Amino acid sequence: MNVAPVSPDVAPVPDVAPIPDVAQERRPAGGDAGQFARALDALSQTLGGAARAEDAFAAGAGTLQQAVYERAQADVALAIATSSASRIVASVQAILNMQV
């Protein structure tokens, strides 16, 4: 049996600079808008942490357990965010469909 090495069809991905933390660059307003902005920032940080853990595992610096745990946390946070968004949309549609 002959085994030939597999060469990828695309060039290797170059090292990419990390995304700057935009949460510290802007100050969200108070009230509901500020809470919504902070929730989105927290979701962004959770997704970013999962990506960093996966990148660390791919580079050999992290563990598979940490990468899977971070991804699971990000998946749960994203599921909660999408569920909340769909409920908000349904509520707004119900309000807009009311006859005055």
Domain ranges of the chain: 34-96
pLDDT at 16 over 80: no
What pLDDT does 87 receive? 93
pLDDT of 25 higher than 80: no
The candidate with the shortest Cα–Cα distance to 16, out of 73, 55, 50, is: 55
As a whole number, the mean pLDDT across the chain is 82
Higher pLDDT, 2 or 81: 81
Q: Render pLDDT for 40-79 as a digit per residue (tens, 0 to 9).
A: 899 999 999 999 999 999 988 889 999 999 999 999 999 9
